Amino acid sequence: MSQNTLTTSEQSLDLREELNKYLRYWPWFIISVVLLVVLAFTYLRYATTVYSTSSTILIKDDKSGSTELAALEQLGVSGSGGNSIANEIGILSSRRLMENVVRALNLNVQYTAEGSVKDVELYTNSPIKLSVVQLNEEQLEKLSSAARSFQVSREGTTGVVLKPLSGSSVSGSLDSPIDLGFATVVVSYRESEISGSPFDLQVQFLPVAAVANAYRAKLNIALPDKQASLLQLSMQDNVPQKARDVLNQLVVEYNKDAIADENLVAVNTGEFIQERLDIILEDLDDVEGDIENFKEERRLTNIESEAELFLSSAQEFETRQREVGTQLELVNLMLEYLQNSDTTRTLPVNLGIEEGGVNSLIGEYNTLVLERNKVLQGSSEQNPVVMRLEDQIEALRGSINQSLLNLRNNLRVTQNDLDRQAARIDGNIRQVPANERQFRVKARNQSIKEELYLFLLEKREENALKQAINVPKAKVVDPAYGAQVVSPNRRSVLLGAILGGLLIPFGVIYIRRLLNNKIERREDIEKVTRQIPIVGELPRIVRGESDLITENDRSVLAESFRILTTNLQYLLVNAETDGKGYCIYTTSTVKGEGKTFTSINLAVTLANTGKKVVLIGADLRNPQLQRYDSQSKSLLGVSDYLVSNDHTLEKLVHDSKFHPKLKLFLSGSIPPNPSELLRQKKFGQMIAELREQFDYVIVDTAPSMLVADTFLISKYADLILYVTRAGYTEKKLLNFAVDAQNDGKLHDVSFVINDVKTANFGYGNKYGYAYGQEKPSLWERFKKSF
């Protein structure tokens, strides 16, 4: 088999063993489960049922839904960053809104009907409705709970009596105001009730703030999707209709509050816009008057048109100046030509001189010159015709010269005039940019004021329209719905009861085991050491049963000692006795662990097998064998034998009443020096002599931890039975036995566990020690489980 397989098997074994430690207490688990299940059913029967109600709303975005805020943002006044879902959640969960809900639904007045176990809240199932006309909150808060709780009952046909739990009653009539001191109320029937039917219920008045705080604590607001503005409202209450009404009314109050805020913003926005309109209108009048004065001072109508006119005139004058300048140059050329030429040459024609008289004179002059030249070809200069023509040419030449001079003077005058007019027009043109710049500044101011004025007029109309038509801020996607039971959860309560019924005994047992420093079973010893074997387990003696074994005894105690003696045979196989009897010591750590009980029953068991047995009382300080045989208390024993040589074993060892083959050698008189007596070699000689006479020598010694007596005589033993007692011996004391064996003070040590509960037997509880006996009843096994 592999190491892993062994490890798995050991773990499985450990788990089974660990479970068996708890399963042996199964009756307590059953009782605990049954008890808690009964309590769970009782709780479910009378517990107040709590229901869950939900509602879903959509919060509209302020950026698209609020015209007045948008107007302020466009004006640069509002610094709002838009709608914040976190802010809206804070508003929805505010105490102010919840107080409005409480007042709207009259939740501060609670109706309850008295039940056999618990009172039931009626809400809309109440046969009457109590309307609060006037309520003094401060006075109400000062009253005790009894003073503001009233037992309402009918009196006569139309009368009603409100009797407080403490104080005098108040009478009144239905549908009429009734003064309660702190409030004025009107009691009336609900529409579903039959007039005249009797009623008897309790009405309690609560402060609005306290009720609002209670419902605020119940309200839960969740944001299902962070990318959306959907909010899920939920509430848990013992009256589902009330929870639905609260959620629905909360949305109504939220929209009212939002509309009131929007109206307030709209009014403030309208006032702001009107103030700005008045200011801008005054500024606009000032700007327009300034433009009017500007145009009048500079005689302007339209600067752009006049500038174009100036430019056109400047171009015309420039063209005219060029024309006049050209004519003037042509005239100068003709005068220069005229002065430098003689009368035989003709004058240039068609040069572009626009003066018609000059051109005609030049043409006539050229005709005369040509005619003279033609005559000179056939005659001389003395020819009268030539002379006449010469005179005419000279005269005409003078006329042309004078005409050109006059024309030049005229052209110069015209040119100067054109230069003056052109300079004036140029000056006007030069003034156009400055005028235009100044005009544009004034016109720009006028345009800005006009645009702002028109913009504010538009926003004023939009704001007025928005104020007239207000849209709720929260759109109800799903109204309050659902009445799912949240508490108590039957399945969870019953399952919790079953688990609690299992865990409570488990916890008690676990804590008990955890805090228990005493050994209870063989595993407690095996955890400390495995080098010292456990040779037997002795059961707890039930009160009324004998603690001594008898002949042919079939009790569990007898069977335990039979198993013990059988185990002893395997431990004594290697003992060297040279044909003599075996010497077995019984000791313990402290007194009270049952070593004497173990010694005498072990001796009786061995005697029942036909062996000759002697039981020695070696606890010289606190002898206990005498309590099993009261008649032998005065007999001499071991101490007397060790002190005096006058006594022989034959005289001191006497018969016992327990069995014919069992002899007793009691401790005798209590000596002042037990340790010195036990150190004598005579004790060893005594043991050796008795071993020759008996098959078994059982020595009941003193507790090992308290005195050293057992250590002094341990060398004479073939086997030492170290008795421990369940529920008595501390676990840490086991180390004393281990250390004593390791140090050589004790040898061949084997543990015996005494007073073990039947439930803690290593094997007996599972397979049964009382083989052949009748099976004990369930109640008996239940009692033995603890």
Average pLDDT per consecutive 10 residues, the chain (786 residues; last block may be shorter): 50 66 81 92 83 84 50 48 71 87 86 74 78 81 80 75 77 81 81 55 85 89 81 84 87 83 71 76 74 63 57 66 73 75 70 71 77 73 76 80 81 78 63 56 65 77 70 77 77 90 88 85 85 90 82 86 90 79 92 91 92 91 82 79 87 87 88 88 91 92 88 91 92 90 91 85 52 54 54
Residue appearing with tokens 């010292």 = 532
Q: What is the DSSP string of 679-713?
A: HSHHHHHHHHHHHHH-SEEEEE---TTT-SHHHHH
Strands 170-173 and 109-113, bridge-based pairing: unpaired
Sequence-separated (6 or more) residues with CB below 8 Å from residue 754: 538, 593, 594, 597, 598, 723, 724, 725, 726
What is the domain count for the chain? 2
Residue 81 is predicted with a pLDDT of 41
- Does a structural domain hold residue 98? no
Residue 38 is predicted with a pLDDT of 92
- Does a structural domain hold residue 288? no
> Residue 211: which of 110, 129, 88 has the closest Cα?
110
Dist. CA 606–CA 604, nearest whole Å: 5
Q: Quote the domain boundaries for residue 665.
A: 530-784
Q: Which DSSP symbol is given to 731?
A: G
Residue 1 is predicted with a pLDDT of 47
Question: Does the global pTM surpass 0.75?
Answer: no
- Does a structural domain hold residue 49? no
Kindly tell me the sign of the dihedral angle through the C-alpha atoms of 653, 657, 662, 665: negative
Residue 356 is predicted with a pLDDT of 67
Phi, psi of 716 (to 5 degrees): -90, -5
How crowded is the C-beta side of 562, counted as CA atoms within 13 Å? 15
Residue 294 is predicted with a pLDDT of 63
Q: Which of 468, 488, 506 is the last residue of a domain?
A: 468
Residue 600 is predicted with a pLDDT of 92
Dist. CA 149–CA 362, nearest whole Å: 139
- Does a structural domain hold residue 735? yes
Strands 749-756 and 534-539, bridge-based pairing: parallel
The answer for 350, left when phi > 0, alpha when psi is -120 to 50, beta otherwise, is: left
Contact 613, 699 (CB under 8 A): no
Q: Which of 468, 500, 517 is the last residue of a domain?
A: 468
- Say yes or no: 406 and 543 in one domain: no
- Say yes or no: 582 and 654 in one domain: yes
Residue 703 is predicted with a pLDDT of 92
Dist. CA 380–CA 383, nearest whole Å: 6
Kindly tell me the sign of the dihedral angle through the C-alpha atoms of 348, 349, 352, 358: positive
- Alpha-carbon radius of gyration of the chain: 68
- Say yes or no: 460 and 537 in one domain: no
Encoding tokens for residue 722?
């170290």
- Say yes or no: 576 and 708 in one domain: yes
- Does a structural domain hold residue 38? no
- Does a structural domain hold residue 33? no
Encoding tokens for residue 234?
């939920």
- Does a structural domain hold residue 167? no
Q: What is the DSSP string of 206-274?
A: --HHHHHHHHHHH-EEE-S-TTS-EEEEEEEESSHHHHHHHHHHHHHHHHHHHHHHHHHHHHHHHHHHH
Dist. CA 430–CA 452, nearest whole Å: 34
- Say yes or no: 587 and 664 in one domain: yes
- Say yes or no: 644 and 725 in one domain: yes
Dist. CA 70–CA 63, nearest whole Å: 7
- Say yes or no: 441 and 344 in one domain: yes
> Residue 637: which of 722, 719, 699, 709 has the closest Cα?
699
Q: What is the DSSP string of 621-669?
A: SS--GGGG-GGGTTS--HHHHHH-TT--HHHH-EE-SS-TTEEEE---S
Contact 80, 185 (CB under 8 A): no
Residue 14 is predicted with a pLDDT of 66
Burial of 375 (0-12, 13-18, 19+ CB in 10 A): middle
Rounded to a whole number of angstroms, the distance between the first and last alpha carbons of the chain is 40
Q: Which of 468, 492, 507 is the last residue of a domain?
A: 468
Encoding tokens for residue 406?
């006059």
Mapped onto helix, strand or coil, the DSSP state of residue 425 is helix
- Say yes or no: 729 and 585 in one domain: yes
Encoding tokens for residue 216?
């605020």
- Say yes or no: 440 and 561 in one domain: no
- Does a structural domain hold residue 600? yes
Cα angle 629, 633, 639 (rounded to 5 degrees) comes to 120
Q: What is the DSSP string of 295-309?
A: HHHHT-S-HHHHHHH
Neighbours of 179 (CB within 10 A): 12
- Say yes or no: 658 and 730 in one domain: yes
What is the H or E stretch that residue 124 is in?
Answer: none
Cis peptide before 472 (omega within 30 of 0): no
DSSP β-bridge partners for residue 518: 730
The answer for 272, left when phi > 0, alpha when psi is -120 to 50, beta otherwise, is: alpha
- Say yes or no: 441 and 575 in one domain: no
Indicate the residue type of 148: R
Contact 620, 626 (CB under 8 A): no
Mapped onto helix, strand or coil, the DSSP state of residue 155 is strand
Residue 629: CATH number of its domain: 3.40.50.300
Dist. CA 393–CA 242, nearest whole Å: 136
- Say yes or no: 751 and 609 in one domain: yes
